Amino acid sequence: MAGKNVVMFGPPGAGKGTQAARLVELISVPHISTGDMFRYHIKNGTDLGKTAQEYSNQGKLVPDDVTIAMVKERLGRDDVKGGFMLDGFPRSVPQAEALNGMLQEYGMPLDHVVNISVSDDEIRSRLAKRASIEGRADDADPAVIQNRIDTYKSQSEPCLGFYEEQGTLRNIDGIGTIDEVFARIEKVFQ
């Protein structure tokens, strides 16, 4: 099985969480979701959660120093020594650079950045559907959705060039059924 230190990447609503859950089964590594970490902190009313909620409600990213500290602590745990799946981080080039530093410090190379590509119209459609099914308020407001798309394009998308230069970027067409998209991802690990 090819490299097991993986970042799942793509715009909001691309299906990262769904595909990451399947991929961690395939490669037997912990699924580290910053979204899950934030939701935990928000639900439990921690200081981090309150900060994250303020930004999330506006469709903005949580400040780097908060997110980086949280991820660094998680990657320092013993259960990730055999590999990990990061979902929702990095979301900016400074975060990608910070991740590189963490991984060098821990002696863990990044093997793959699996980028699920979908169009803006597909993102809008998927987020509206997710809002009605899961009741996620951050997916219901078209203005917030557009802000999330714009934020992704201006802050997160530049990471693709960063990882392309490092030779770790794996672009995956995100259109099709969950099984079709996963079959494309599986090929990276064969």
74, 91, 124, 170: the active-site residue: 91
25-57 pLDDT, tens digit per residue, is 999 999 998 878 888 888 998 887 888 888 878
CB 27, CB 38: distance < 8 Å: no
73-88 pLDDT, tens digit per residue, is 889 889 999 999 999 8
CATH architecture of 5-188: 3-Layer(aba) Sandwich (3.40)
136 is catalytic: yes
Please give the residue that has the higher pLDDT: either 134 or 179. 179
Residues comprising the chain, all counted: 190
Rounded to two decimals, what is the model's pTM? 0.85
16 is catalytic: yes
74, 126, 148, 170: the active-site residue: 148
Q: How do the domains of the chain map onto residue ranges? A: 5-188
Give the pLDDT score at 103.
Answer: 96
What confidence category does residue 136 fall into, taking pLDDT thresholds of 50, 70 and 90?
Answer: confident
CA distance 190 to 188: 6
Q: In sequence order, what are the residues at sequence separation of 6 or more whose Cβ sits closer than 8 angstroms to the Cβ of residue 103?
A: 5, 75, 109, 110
Give the pLDDT score at 120.
Answer: 93
Mean predicted confidence (pLDDT) in 95-114: 96
